[in-house]
Amino acid sequence: MNDNKIILTGIKPTGRPHIGNYLGAIEPALRRSLNNPNSFFFIPDYHALNNGLPADEIKKLTHVIAATWIASGLNSTKQHLYKQSDIPEIFELETILNATVPKGWMNKSHAYKAAMDQNIEAKRDVDYDVNMGLYTYPILMASDILIFNADQVPVGKDQIQHVEIARDIAGRFNSKYGNHILTLPEHLVEKTVFEVPGVDGRKMSKSYNNFIPLFASEEEWNNAVKKIVTDSNQEHTHESFKETTFYKIFSAIANENDTNKISQQIVDKSIGWKEAKDEMLSQLVSRFKEKSDIYFDLLNDTNKIDEILKSGAELIRPIASKTLKQVKMTIGVL
Ligand code: TRP
């Protein structure tokens, strides 16, 4: 593993993380950053502003994401944890980059295109409800990454394009000014973890409301597990069981042994879906209960979270100012 590479990733404070976020993004990113002091985990709160959330929600969800990182195993004395709005250098860099980024690149960005497609489908003006923050989203994201010279950006598949735009922006800036001042980042996408489906079999997503919450009470987990769609087919082969939503979720949470065991029990009909769901609940409890306790304790002490975020930002601001200073010298304002 490349211990000296700079790793950086962020989670927007727009909702409560679910097990799909954890298994596909949070856990792999933390695993990669073990023993790497150059790891940056942050909360892009200004990105969340574009979603139009009210102030108290932004504040609450910022605490939720910070507590999620910490309860998931982030050690804020070894890895950097901060929020975007505490690093104003990011926004100054964004303004500078604006002058280098062709408008056409933004027209092609997924986040904007998705909003346009929805409007076209609803027969509204293409730019209905699109703010400039959403339109220029990839430039702010590029600033997040480039200000800390990140080499690797662990992300989900939906964010690959944004990291590529960041790379293109860095490349364009460097060639415009004839030097290698900005590091070209690359995206890191976990290949081993398949996408965890939601309880209805579609992609697990906040917007479909089909998710299993990551840190929760047993009751909340149980309610989500109960909603997993199961067929009434009581005759399963190992192959057909593998195709079920239940199996896909179970095998993402449990280890191989426990997964093989439950497959066998379903196939030989020693248990039915009810018992299988009880077993899934136990798996959730054994994997996430202790972490949930840490999470809820932290959320009861938001002053502590605020302190961690504040000192996290203070520690790394000098890195951001150094990058910004070099950029300002390069463009002729310093
Ligand atoms: N756009 C990312 C998402 O929606 C969040 C994000 C913002 C991010 N800035 C980033 C991720 C920089 C990685 C690096 O998931």
Task: For residue 267, give the CATH number of its domain.
Answer: 1.10.240.10
**Residues 56 and 127 occupy one common structural domain:** yes
**Residues 140 and 15 occupy one common structural domain:** yes
Does 203 fall in a domain? no
Contact 71, 26 (CB under 8 A): no
CA of 310 to the centre of ligand 1 (A): 20
Given pLDDT bands bounded at 50, 70 and 90, which one contains residue 192? low
Does 213 fall in a domain? no
Pocket test for ligand 1, best of 9, 21, 109 (most atoms within 8 A of CB): 9
190 vs 31: CA distance, rounded Å: 11
Does 205 fall in a domain? no
Mean pLDDT for all residues in the chain: 94
Taking the CA of residue 44 as reference, the ligand 1 atom at the shortest distance is: 7
**Residues 57 and 135 occupy one common structural domain:** yes
Does ligand 1 have an atom closer than 6 angstroms to the CB of 153? yes
Does 244 fall in a domain? yes
State the total domains in the chain. Answer: 2
Q: Per-residue DSSP letters for 261-282?
A: HHHHHHHTTSS-HHHHHHHHHH
Contact 2, 186 (CB under 8 A): no
Please report the sign of the dihedral spanned by the C-alpha atoms of residue 221, residue 223, residue 224, residue 226.
Answer: positive
Contact 64, 295 (CB under 8 A): no
188 vs 156: CA distance, rounded Å: 8
106 vs 92: CA distance, rounded Å: 19
H/E segment holding residue 40: strand 39-43
**Residues 149 and 252 occupy one common structural domain:** no
Domain of residue 182: give its range.
Answer: 7-195+302-331
**Residues 126 and 74 occupy one common structural domain:** yes
Tokens of 126: 């293409």
Given pLDDT bands bounded at 50, 70 and 90, which one contains residue 67? very high
**Residues 255 and 309 occupy one common structural domain:** no
**Residues 309 and 177 occupy one common structural domain:** yes
Contacts of 240 (CB under 8 A, 6+ apart): 233
**Residues 146 and 18 occupy one common structural domain:** yes
pLDDT at 3 over 70: no
pTM score: 0.94
**Residues 154 and 239 occupy one common structural domain:** no
**Residues 279 and 322 occupy one common structural domain:** no
Residues 98-134 pLDDT 10s: 999 999 999 999 999 999 999 999 999 999 999 999 9
Please report the sign of the dihedral spanned by the C-alpha atoms of residue 36, residue 163, residue 206, residue 303.
Answer: positive
Does 18 fall in a domain? yes
Neighbours of 74 (CB within 10 A): 20
**Residues 190 and 154 occupy one common structural domain:** yes
Task: Please tell me the predicted confidence (pLDDT) of residue 190.
Answer: 81
CATH of the domain at 125: 3.40.50.620
**Residues 118 and 185 occupy one common structural domain:** yes
